[in-house]
Chains A and B, each alone.
Chain A
Amino acid sequence: MPTNPPDHLNNIERALIDKLRSGTYKTVGGSATAWSADPPDVTVYGQFPTTDDVSYPCLIVEMVANGIETQFMGQNITKNDGTAARGELYGIGFNIYIMVDRASSIDITNTIAGPSNVTQPYKERRLLNYLMLNGANVLMDLDFADIVKGAAGTPAATEIDERHFSGFRNIGYDPALELWSSQASMVVTFKNSR
């Protein structure tokens, strides 16, 4: 048993935040733009921001649950390199929020729907709709290759088994705060080698 087991939860949470930040979507001219380019069109927070530095539109990643997904005979698993280890499949659940306030506006060039090559500012509900689908695209495309390989900067390899993006819900408007928001869930399972 390793004396200092890999910090899987933080590895995955940080990888998810990094991937959301580097995930791209189409803005002006149809070119791909990272959510969090500088200055960012969309800010990705790793936890709920304080009111002094919140900037809209934003994505907020929050871990809401984790626990054993499946345990195998004798609590044994086989790691990707073929070695046996003690452990189980462990799951993490994330909520990912998208928030848009009244002042939020992103210029989007439409090349498919509507008049072609017309750039329009997207706001409020329209912007939220746009960000939800682009957010879903990023979540469905993302991989955890970096942490699986144990890339530089990660303390040890975390072996991802499955990930499920389960869609957006609670889509709505909070009039007291003047925020349009929605909430997506995501589950990641990994081999928790101990």
Chain B
Amino acid sequence: MPGLVGSQGVRAGALNMGRIFRALRYRTEQAQYVVYNRPTIYKTDAYGVPSGTIGSEEILLPDLQAIIRPAVTADYQQQRQGSNIIGAARIYTPNITTIKNYDNFNQNNNTDFNEIEGWDKLITNYRTVFSVPTTGTTNWTGTGSVASDGESLTLTATGDGNLLYETSIKNTLEADRLRFKIKGSGAVELKAVRSYHGGTTSAYRVNWDNANFVLLDDNWLTVDVPFVSGTTSTSIYQTGTRYDVPVTTGASFDYENDLRIFRIEYNAHNGDTLQVKDVEYYKSVSWHVHSLKDMTDGYIIFDCVRTQGRNDSRRRAYD
């Protein structure tokens, strides 16, 4: 009786999932914020085959709390078909009412999200490969003044411009996603994110040129985008609204090269502030929902599998 009983708060003996998530997240990596992803769904033609007309845009929503209990994290045995199930896990999420209370998952904001279904993906952080430090201002420059409160980096803008972190060579070979949190005040508009590898000119960068949008005041927005060869498009969601992000690379860009510059481009008025934190290049694991085991008013349990993954030694050796 989720509606009747669940609305009366946490009962004695019931699971307080919020508390469990927090406790496990602080003490272990079993509980994480994962990225919920449903690829673009195309309309079908009269013969039942997907056409080129988009019926439902890609959903890519970070910050979903989940507990991941792997049964098999990685299985390297190779089977026929070139693809096989290489991992299995049981994943716990909050109940659907709680999920739908998150801004991005709220159907008032995002009509495409209904519930977590079969073959939806839950992307977890397997290992952070390189974390861009925001605890100080070393190596950070921008169109304005930069300061750090020991956690996040703040740029006080003088106008439109960029905020960048330039480093000596940092290895990001194993990373396949980029995540950061960003917050703006005033009319700060996110324009683009760029990552330079192997060089510091535009030929050496990957460009995420999002549809410009104004960052909500005093609200951390998590941006989580693929950093993997072959990507041509992705999404950024803010309060359920999708902003298209075409992805392009320069002529000399190679995903295997070392990181040189992480850069954010924005439009802003003089005096607006832009804050960034938790910038990380990470290796992800993508869990695909195969079955729904249990759905209570406390939590949902999904059985998930992995069917594709990367083997970094071969990637280094072959490419």
Q: What is the interface of chain A, defined by CB distance below 8 A to chain B?
A: 45, 48-55, 58, 60, 97, 99, 101-103, 105, 120-121, 123-126, 174, 176-179, 181
Contact = CB atoms under 8 A, between A and B. Distances in A.
Interface stretch (B43-51, B62-70, B156-164, B204-212): B43-51
Interface in B273-314: 290, 305, 307-311, 314
A190 B260 CA distance: 56
B22 interface: no
Given A48-B82, A53-B314, A99-B82, A176 B49 contact: no
Contact of B39 (A52, A54, A103, A125): A103
Nearest to A55: B230
Given A52-B308, A125-B48, A177-B81, 11 more contacts: A49-B82, A51-B84, A51-B309, A53-B315, A54-B83, A58-B82, A101-B83, A105-B52, A124-B50, A126-B47, A176-B307
B318 A51 contact: no
Given A52-B314, A176-B305, A123 B84 contact: no
A99 B83 contact: yes
B168 interface: no
Contact of A176 (B42, B51, B85): B85
A48 B82 CA distance: 5
B308 A123 contact: no
Contacts of B85: 176-177
| Interface of A, helix, strand, loop or mixed by DSSP | mixed
B86 A48 contact: no
A65 to B, nearest CB: 15
Nearest to A119: B52
A49 B318 CA distance: 12
A53 B310 CA distance: 7
B309 A52 contact: yes
Interface string B61-94: 0000000000000000011111111100000000
B57 to A, nearest CB: 15
A174 B48 CA distance: 17
A37 B108 CA distance: 46
B52 A120 contact: yes
A120 B42 CA distance: 13
A51 B39 contact: no
B51 A51 contact: no
B130 interface: no
A45 B82 contact: yes
A55 B79 CA distance: 15
Contact of A97 (B81, B309, B314): B81
B81 A99 contact: yes
Which one of B48, B49, B78 has the greatest number of beta carbons of chain A within 10 Å? B49
Contact of B307 (A48, A126, A177): A177
A53 B79 CA distance: 14
Contacts of A58: 82
A52 B311 contact: yes
Nearest to B307: A177
Given A51-B309, A102-B39, A126 B82 contact: no
A125 B45 CA distance: 12
Given A123-B42, A177-B85, A48 B80 contact: yes
A102 B315 CA distance: 24
Given A48-B81, A123-B42, A176-B290, A53 B318 contact: yes
Contact of A177 (B47, B49, B84, B230): B84
Contacts of A97: 80-82
B51 A50 contact: no
Nearest to A45: B82
A121 B82 contact: no
B307 A51 contact: yes
B119 interface: yes
Top-7 shortest CB links A-B? A52-B311, A121-B52, A52-B310, A126-B49, A54-B82, A123-B50, A49-B82
A111 B127 CA distance: 50
A101 B230 CA distance: 15
B24 to A, nearest CB: 29
